[in-house]
Amino acid sequence: MQQPNKDRFRHRDLNWLSFNERVLQEATDKLNPLYERMKFLAIFSSNLDEYFRVRVSQLRQMKRVKKSIRKKLALRPSKITKQIIQEVKNQQDAFGDIYNKEIIPELAINGIHILDAEHYSKAHRKFADSYFNEKIEKHIKPIMLDLKKENELFLENSVLYFLVTFQNENKLGVVNIPVEHCGRFVMIDDVTDEHSITYLDEIIRHEAFKIFPENDITGIYEIKLSRDAELYIDDIYEGVLAEKIYTSLKQRTDGQPTRLLYDAEMPKDIQKKVRKLLKLGKIDMMPGGQYHNFKDFFSFPDPTNNKDLHFKKLPALPHNTLDKSKNYFEDIAKKDQSLHFPYMSFSYVERFVEMAANDEKVTEISISLYRVADESELTSSLMKALDNGKRVTVFVEAKARFDEKNNISWGRKFEEKGANVIYSYPKVKVHSKIMLISRQEGDENVKYAYIGTGNFNAETSAIYCDHAIFTANKNITKELHRLFKVLEGELIIPREKNLLISPFSTRQEFVKLIYNEIENAREGKKAKITAKMNSLEDEEMIDLLYKASDAGVEIRMLIRGFTCLIPGVKGLSENIYITSVVDRFLEHGRIYIFENGGDELMFYGSADWMNRNLDRRIEVISPVLDEDIKKEFKEILNIQLRDNVKARIQDPEESNTYVERKKGEKEIRSQYEIYNYLKKKHKS
């Protein structure tokens, strides 16, 4: 974890918190319907959980690296962790205000009341008593701790528990809140037109005397422990340096605690006892509100069926060619075809695989799967292709964070069916979203490619903004075929001239493209770089962008997540302007445009400008060669760059200020404008 030069680079983990603040801003934005604002609270909470499991976990591990190595790398994990904890505390305070002062009152205005046990009526208490006996009690696993003896307490990752204190100070009770069995929210039968909802937590709180019948309860406090997901040192350090770091670490225990979130009302002496039980440091303790795991608000019930409380549905748009196509291969052979999710349906991709599975001329299907859905039309079609005697090669990423188990499970299913299944290599992830289909057309073996920015996953395609192109361009398909041969171990390098493939050529080609703009600027030619990505971290790329800015290259960037580049600093980055769009859908696509002296070059694909994407993952960035599609991509990108409703400026102060709409300027909420643009274009 490199300590940034304050004048040149931001710390990625600190700037990531700025991104999550933008998510929190969406929970306050009245442009979003009430239930959508609650979902943004859920997204904020879910993001933060993963952040502590991965990023903060890595900082904690770095604290155990030998001081001599930490000094060499300018590592200051304790300082960064303290800054993180303080900023997270500020954000959680804001979170509590939004929930208590905005969400709860607005729910009440709409006739929806969240009840706590303290305010149960006689009828509510009767309901809670019955519900506990019938639905909850069988899933409760209480633990009684005698503090006069040695105790070991294990809390599962992200599971909610109550810590219960008693009149007898030598005893502590721990009881699970079985959300996985009972759900988080319970509708209470009510005789009025109003709707009462209670947390599962509150029913258990109300019935706690039944769980610990022989003890006088003095306090009940909710707690949640986050455990690390995995150690990802090699995401940042490589080669001998990585090995030195690993050697300096003692054998680690998987799932080491990284944060205990606890009710801030918990007395300090109880906090101390819990810390001792769980072997935590002070820095691992995070005070919070009465409730945790707000990601459960994804499933918060709406008993009103009031459409105004939710986003209006945006029906998937028909593709003007593929929607009417009876044979995708014929239409793709004539012309490249583009897709834009979630504005268009992922079913076009599924239909393509289905056609391939049933087409007698198709001989082979190769695909890389990074995050596999539990069940999908796509995986079913791949199975069908195997039944029909096609050769199917599936590259399964075994290290896709939090999806490892599901991916490996699917890999085994494909293997059992006879597919050629290849799993990821040590220290290399396959992050590209690519598919190649071989079809025997007369004497020629014709190849059809699909290259996208998003995963082959119908569920995520409904909420992630991504781009994809079907092509039969021989230069592209030939190079993609060679890449699959590399993945299969038959070639060492893909020898590409058109595609940019990490870790073979992506960095080198992007460096050349940026230097070309620098030279053009120095010669007085128009020089411009426009780039959209999820995150920007790589210091070599950032230094080059600073150099380009100094040379007079106009640099316009759209970065949804974190950036280590500091824009708008005189003498360093004054020609770099960055905005971030956080809205209804998650911006996930990557598009890169270089002015190239008037002969504009456009690329899209799976790689951000992060060192892991450039050097340690298999990524594919493709040129956009079809002029119509190039125009379409540029129109979409320009709409996003002009967003004056949901775009925030990434300035040196990290203020997350919204882009100001000038007087008389049209209101542009880019995701809706893009939907309307594509609707009009594909209708014609």
- Active-site residue list: 431
Token digits of residue 336: 């490249």
Q: Which single residue is written with the structure tokens 């087409």? A: 359
401 is in an annotated binding site: yes
**Nearest Cα to Cα of residue 332 among 319, 314, 343, 345:** 319
Token digits of residue 525: 């030619």
275 is in an annotated binding site: no
Measured distance CA(99)–CA(110) in Å, rounded: 15
Token digits of residue 559: 């970065």
Helix (H, G, I), strand (E, B) or coil at 673: helix
Residue 219 identity (one-letter amino acid): G
Measured distance CA(316)–CA(325) in Å, rounded: 17
Beta bridge partners of 221: 163
Percent helix, strand, coil in the chain, to 5, is: 40, 25, 35
Measured distance CA(289)–CA(93) in Å, rounded: 9
Q: For 262, phi and psi rounded to 5 degrees?
A: -140, 155
Measured distance CA(676)–CA(684) in Å, rounded: 12
Find out whether 277 and 151 touch, Cβ atoms under 8 Å.
Answer: yes
Measured distance CA(636)–CA(118) in Å, rounded: 52
Q: How far is CA 561 from CA 14, 59, 452, 507, 593, in A?
A: 11, 20, 19, 21, 19
Find out whether 486 and 480 touch, Cβ atoms under 8 Å.
Answer: no
Q: For 557, phi and psi rounded to 5 degrees?
A: -125, 150
Residues 6 or more apart whose CB falls under 8 angstroms from that of 450 comprise 349, 352, 434, 435, 436, 468, 469, 470
319 is in an annotated binding site: no
Surface-to-core class of residue 164, CB atoms within 10 Å of its CB (0-12 exposed, 13-18 middle, 19+ buried):
buried
Measured distance CA(59)–CA(64) in Å, rounded: 9
- The H or E element that residue 109 is part of is helix 104-109
Q: For 395, phi and psi rounded to 5 degrees?
A: -95, 115
310 is in an annotated binding site: no
Render 444-477 in DSSP notation, one character per residue.
EEEEEEEEESS-S-HHHHTTEEEEEEEE--HHHH
Measured distance CA(523)–CA(518) in Å, rounded: 9
439 is in an annotated binding site: no
- Assign residue 669 a region: left if phi > 0, alpha if psi is -120 to 50, beta otherwise? beta
498 is in an annotated binding site: no
Find out whether 294 and 104 touch, Cβ atoms under 8 Å.
Answer: no
- Terminal alpha carbon distance of the chain: 51
Q: Which single residue is written with the structure tokens 């003692």? A: 250
Annotated binding site: 47, 371, 401, 464, 560, 588
Annotated binding site for ATP: 47, 464, 560, 588
Annotated binding site for Mg(2+): 371, 401
